[in-house]
Amino acid sequence: MKVSFNKREPVYVQVVQHFKEQIATGNFEPGQEIPSRRELANQLKINPNTAQRSYKEMEEEGLIYTEGNSPSKITSDEKVIKAVREELISQAVDSFVTSIRKVNVPIDELIGLIKEKYTENANE
Amino acid sequence: MIEVKDLTKRFGRKKVLNGVSFTAEKGQITCIIGINGVGKTTILNGIMNLTPMNSGLILIDGKKVSKESYEKITFIPDAITMLPQMTIREAMQFMQDFYNSWNEERANELLGFFKLKQEERISNLSKGNTAKVNLLLGLALDVDYLLMDEPFSGIDIFSREQIADVFTSHLVEDRGVIITTHEINDIEHLIDKVVLLDNGVVLKEFNAEEMRASEGKSVIDVMREVYKG
């Protein structure tokens, strides 16, 4: 697991975002065990207290769950996974729309461009 | 918790510490930042009672520093204090003879972690490896608090990364750490709390993650404001 963090956003927020991306893309499968707080801190080179905070946050959002003393796992709740995916898509589209609106591109031209670029990049 | 209250220190007519107060919690990494000559090392010496202070109070878990404190807190100075002709093994033996809190198992683990050979003589080690031995001797003590003076200065990037790795591992976890540095870049994501020092006073004391959350500022952003503003 390699994540590059920016320095201005709270690290725990960035860790949660990373987990959401992995869940949405299926890299982290439902019910998959996740590293302990210490392992995560060590893998991502972050403070163990921050790793702890990320897990607490994700637990509250229902992204991960813990049963008794066993390791925490990625949620199997399809509704949550679907919501995460939708959230990420809508975040990305929002930020795209905000920046493209400044350029004032006609919608048809824009859609054409998106189709072209999106398939082109995927083939690379 | 280590509490430093209103510490002052003069060397002759020169005031080095001018009423320094801050706290460092157990289970957290507290970083004292300041350019050279602002009194970072003097503070650590003060906490360890190695230099007499002119006034102020230092409490470790609510108690003043005494002979027994040295089994609870350790100081890793910026240069190794062992005799150069000693081998790493002999230096470890020296520490074991001296401290009840020496943890041989952890010492051996650290040898492996840093890829050091115990039969090597300290005088023959590279600068980076000397720094690692220095760190090993301190980290192998089962103490609640670790003070480290400039653990990253003057060593190569890979050794720095290796040392930074220690901070995210069980070798440091749950202990209270105070480190001094003038180079924050490598460790920005590792520290809990920042104490900015200048001209013998604390300019600002803050939690790094809270600062990012509430004001969207990196540690360097805050330093720029405080030192140049």
- Counting the structural domains of chain B, the total is 1
Q: Is A103 within the bounds of a domain?
A: yes
Supply the pLDDT for residue B149: 94
Give me the residue label for tokens 């803050």: B206
Q: Mapping DSSP to helix (H, G, I), strand (E, B) and coil, where does residue B30 land?
A: strand
Q: Is A29 within the bounds of a domain?
A: yes
Is the pLDDT assigned to residue B20 strictly greater than 90? yes
Q: Is A3 within the bounds of a domain?
A: no
Contact list in A for residue B220 (CB cut-off 8 A) is 7
pLDDT band at B183 (very low <50, low <70, confident <90, very high): confident
> Which residue of chain A is at minimal alpha-carbon distance from B208?
A10
ipTM of this complex: 0.76
Strand order in the sheet with B63-64: B14-24, B2-11, B55-60, B63-64
Residue B220 is nearest to which of A5, A7, A9, comparing CB atoms?
A: A7
Residue B176 domain boundaries = 2-228
Q: Is A108 within the bounds of a domain?
A: yes
| Residue B98 phi, psi (nearest 5) | -90, -35
Average pLDDT on A8-36 reads: 92
The tokens for B125 are 């080690």
Supply the pLDDT for residue A122: 67
What percent of chain A shows pLDDT beyond 70? Answer: 95
Q: Is A5 within the bounds of a domain?
A: no
Supply the pLDDT for residue B155: 82
* Cα R_g (chain B), whole angstroms: 18
Distances (CA, A) of A91 to A57, A83, A98, A101: 19, 12, 11, 15
Cβ distance of B165 and A53 shorter than 8 Å: no
Give the domain CATH number at B171. Answer: 3.40.50.300
Q: Is A6 within the bounds of a domain?
A: no
Average pLDDT on B93-105 reads: 95
Residue A27 domain boundaries = 11-123
pLDDT band at A94 (very low <50, low <70, confident <90, very high): very high
pLDDT digits (tens, 9 = 90+) for B24-50: 999 999 999 988 778 999 999 999 999
Give the domain CATH number at A58. Answer: 1.10.10.10
- Counting the structural domains of chain A, the total is 1
Cβ distance of A47 and B213 shorter than 8 Å: no
Cβ distance of B27 and A11 shorter than 8 Å: no
Q: Is A1 within the bounds of a domain?
A: no
Chain B CB within 8 Å of residue A56 CB: no
Q: Is A37 within the bounds of a domain?
A: yes
Amino acid at A27: N
Give me the residue label for tokens 């809270």: B210
